[in-house]
Amino acid sequence: MKVLLALVPVLAIMAGMLMYKLSGKKEILRLDLVQFFNAFVLAPVVYIWFKSFLFFLLQAELSVLITQASLLFWDTLYSILFLFLYAFMVIHSLTKSFQLKQDKDPLYDLLEHSEYYHLWVTHTIIFTVGMIIALLLATLNAWIDLPWLITSIQFYGVLVVGLVMSGLIFKAFLISDFGDFRFVRLMKLISAFFLVFHIVVYAFYEPGFGGEKAMYWFMFAVFFGLSLIGLIHESQPIKSPLHRRVSSKFRWVWWRSLRELKRLNARFRK
């Protein structure tokens, strides 16, 4: 363990120095390769290294003096501080990639580049990974019971909350879309796939319909609601309201009639 703790920072520094030569030459997800390595490979390794070192120090060296509650406190404090640091590291990696692009081409469209991350990468990853985490928890609950003692009314309330939650999540899909409903169609496909996965899990584990399987049935209600709403929803741009279309039509007719009158008047004068 001590040898591994000593080798990790050395290997990380060597890898960072070797990767620095590729700065501005290659990209992953339109992010500079070196910045991608720093944000998504090197930073997680450093996080795990410091976390392991902290655990080794507190648990192995101070095992007699520290309690499990204190160990949890210091671990949580470290995680929060590192998350703040990691957020700024990701911001730096992104802005550094922008700088490298602009150094090559002063007229490079940075707005389009930033919208690529905002509209596609972040939205897709946040929603998809969030649903995957919820799916894993639901699958684990199908195998392991929750130590909950709830009434039937409370359990049905959980299902109702899941259906309401599905409507709110689908509304978030619509808000996150770009106007052409490509993102919404992708989320519909993923939601339907997760619903099918829930059905397959039920075929294997046959979880009981009760409070001990509340997480499974809650996510089942969420994905069922998302799939049902997605089946009803039409993936096409929303048209203007009826009164606006009627008023626009009358304005167009009035403008065309006025133009014809002017043309006839000009001809009559000739």
For residue range 39-53, list pLDDT tens digits in order.
888 888 888 888 888
Q: Cα dist. 25→30, 91, 97, 187, 225 in Å? A: 11, 20, 11, 33, 46
What stretches of the chain adopt beta strand conformation (E)? 27-28, 31-32
Q: How far apart are CA 240 and CA 246, in angstroms?
A: 10
| Position 42, amino acid | L
Running DSSP on this structure, what letter comes out for residue 237? Answer: P
pLDDT at 249: 46
Q: What is the pLDDT of residues 120-141, one digit of tens each?
A: 888 889 999 999 999 999 999 9
The mean of the pLDDT values for the chain is 81
- pLDDT by residue, tens only, the chain of 270 residues: 566 666 776 777 777 677 777 777 788 878 888 888 888 888 888 888 888 888 877 776 665 567 777 778 888 899 999 999 999 999 998 888 888 888 888 888 888 888 788 778 888 899 999 999 999 999 999 888 888 778 888 889 999 999 999 999 999 999 888 777 888 889 999 999 999 999 999 988 888 888 888 899 999 999 999 999 988 887 655 555 544 544 554 555 455 565 666 666 666 665
d(CA 101, CA 24): 8
Least Cα distance to 217 among 207, 227, 203 occurs for 207
Domain ranges of the chain: 1-108, 109-238
Phi, psi of 249 (to 5 degrees): -65, -45
